[in-house]
A and B are shown apart, each in its own frame.
Chain A
Amino acid sequence: MLAHLAAPRTRGLLALAAFIALLPLALSNAYYYDVAVLVGLNAIVCVGLNLLIGYAGQISLGHAGFFGLGAYGSAVLTARFGWPPVAALGAATAGVMALAFMIGRPILRLKGHYLAVATLGMGVIISIVVATEDRLTGGPDGMAVPPLALFGTAVQGERAWYWLTGALLLAAVWLALNLVDSPPGRALRALHSTEVGAEVVGIDSARHKVMVFVVSAAFAAVAGSLNAHYAGFVTPAKVTFLHSIELVTMVVFGGMASTFGAVIGAAVLTTLPQLLTLFKDYEMVVFGAVMMGTMVFLPRGLVPSLAALARRTRP
């Protein structure tokens, strides 16, 4: 019975792997691959952000800042200083983690709206710095980024990127699932429910909040860095407050405290605008209606609500 309890995790991971492996059968052209890559990169950010929001119960309205710093870190180090892309990715991620640690220590003492506003401020500052340091970042015009090279060969073309992103998304999901079912992961879920309850069994809640903030920032930085290489270009648009909101919306829509929910949220909300281009001017109207409908009818998010429904209908 105890082994049975751990099983759904492996099943979900295998299902995701199978889906990623079989999806190319339905992707008939490069454009579909392109959308799939964007879904994968957003999903990596959301899996990390969901650890912070869904599991630990802390909000961040500034994660586009970490995503952007990952992107610009890679862009600047490779284009301006000639670093190898993988080293740049590592350095950018480590830098973002250090920054998240320094910012997280003071601001994660705040709760609720106050934390939301503090993280929002952080994101705004990062986006202003990126837009004004034009000698380094190209300012509002953005800058070109050389292609990613792995083991001496450049990763180019949507197909290659699809497999790379797919593999990294699987790894991100695996890491997140492992964390959630471990002592530090349980500590996060515990302090989400009651901080006092968590503290009296010996959990240093402040330290754990900072830790998960740093981890989620790292996920965002890696995805940002890859995004820069994939697009071959970075602009401040990816660092804006609006992008932070999009990321949070993906997590909330897919389902809080559900790793697969974060993936599905990212998939739906990245794909939807592409489909909605058919509606031209009404695109945002349809998008907004979908969001409101979800909040009213599926307040816990898509995946947890559907899972609850499945449990209820099954005898």
Chain B
Amino acid sequence: MTQLRVESLSKTFGGVHAVAGLSFEVARGAVHSVIGPNGAGKTTLLNLLTGIYVPSSGRIAFEGDDLTGRAPHEFAARGIARTFQNLQVFSNMSALENVMVGRYLHERCSLLAAMLRLPRVARAERECREESAELMRFVGLGTYLSAAAAALPYGALKRLEIARALATRPKMALLDEPAAGLNPTETLAMDELIGRMAGLGITVVLVEHNMRLVMGVSDHILVLDYGQKLAEGTAEAVREDPRVIEAYLGAAER
């Protein structure tokens, strides 16, 4: 069943067509990957799908609701979470607080209630702290519970962003190059974490350069080149597609 529907989506920066007339659908559940050479428009696509960029034209519908032109926080409120290639960690807070921020949508309270610290706020705060700690353990950051976010190593920060995204209780999680900069052991662990996320019933949309990771975890792959759809299908189908091979390796001599 279609969860996300993208119709002839375009984004231009000056004369550059970063995403040009792209249409595709993402079915509920499982792992969907978006791959393509550098500059293919993958990150632009994620920015469009989270409201950070407003499309030049086209439509984005999530679970039947048209979200085109909405603010990023409205995309989040519908259940779309994401992580960033260039990390957006709250470096002025503790690691645990970073995850607690992710719970924002589910423990909203008025400013007045917060300032007076009404009993229900204090209770929600305790629960938030415990659930956030639980999420940190889930992504494998149990040892950093009392650490400052700024003190975490790079690989841990990537997991921290995933924990924060999970804290929003998303229906769909967009991961922008979660394995970039990780060593082979860490990549393997990331592979396993993505599998567990999908196991929670979250639709995972993965933008990734690491082909071994992509081919291993993906149920469905979308290949972009110059902002357009080059190919789409299962890992096997995409791997055999001559256009994909050409885009990545260059054309064979004829």
Which A residues are within 8 Å of any B CB, using their own CB?
1-2, 5, 175-176, 178-179, 181-187, 189-190, 192-194, 196-205, 211, 215, 257
Known: A199-B71, A201-B102, A204-B71. A185 touches B114 (CB 8 A): yes
Smallest CB separation, A286 vs chain B (Å)? 33
**B108 and chain A: residue at smallest CB distance:** A183
Smallest CB separation, B187 vs chain A (Å)? 24
Known: A179-B114, A182-B109. A189 touches B73 (CB 8 A): no
Asked if A201 contacts B115 (CB within 8 A), the reply is no
Smallest CB separation, B36 vs chain A (Å)? 22
29 contacts between A and B (CB under 8 A): A1-B146, A2-B130, A5-B129, A178-B115, A179-B111, A179-B115, A182-B117, A183-B109, A183-B124, A183-B128, A184-B114, A186-B104, A189-B90, A189-B92, A190-B90, A193-B93, A194-B90, A196-B52, A199-B51, A199-B76, A200-B50, A201-B76, A201-B104, A201-B105, A201-B167, A202-B104, A202-B105, A203-B101, A215-B111
Known: A201-B164, A204-B71. A182 touches B101 (CB 8 A): no
Chain A at the B interface: mostly helix, strand, loop or mixed? helix
Does B82 interact with chain A (Cβ within 8 Å)? yes
| Bound CA span A175–B88, Å | 29
Asked if A201 contacts B81 (CB within 8 A), the reply is yes
Could you say which residues of chain B place their CB within 8 Å of the CB of A200? 50, 52, 72-73, 75-76, 81-82, 88
Could you say which residues of chain B place their CB within 8 Å of the CB of A205? 73
Does B211 interact with chain A (Cβ within 8 Å)? no
Could you say which residues of chain A place their CB within 8 Å of the CB of B115? 175-176, 178-179, 182, 215
**B52 and chain A: residue at smallest CB distance:** A196
Contact for A204 among B73, B84, B116, CB less than 8 A: B73
Asked if B126 contacts A2 (CB within 8 A), the reply is yes
Known: A181-B125, A205-B73. A197 touches B90 (CB 8 A): yes
Contact with A along B84-102 (1 / 0, CB 8 A): 1000111111000100111
Asked if A211 contacts B111 (CB within 8 A), the reply is yes
**A176 and chain B: residue at smallest CB distance:** B115
**A212 and chain B: residue at smallest CB distance:** B111
| Bound CA span A5–B82, Å | 29
| Bound CA span A247–B75, Å | 39
Could you say which residues of chain A place their CB within 8 Å of the CB of B164? 201
**A214 and chain B: residue at smallest CB distance:** B111
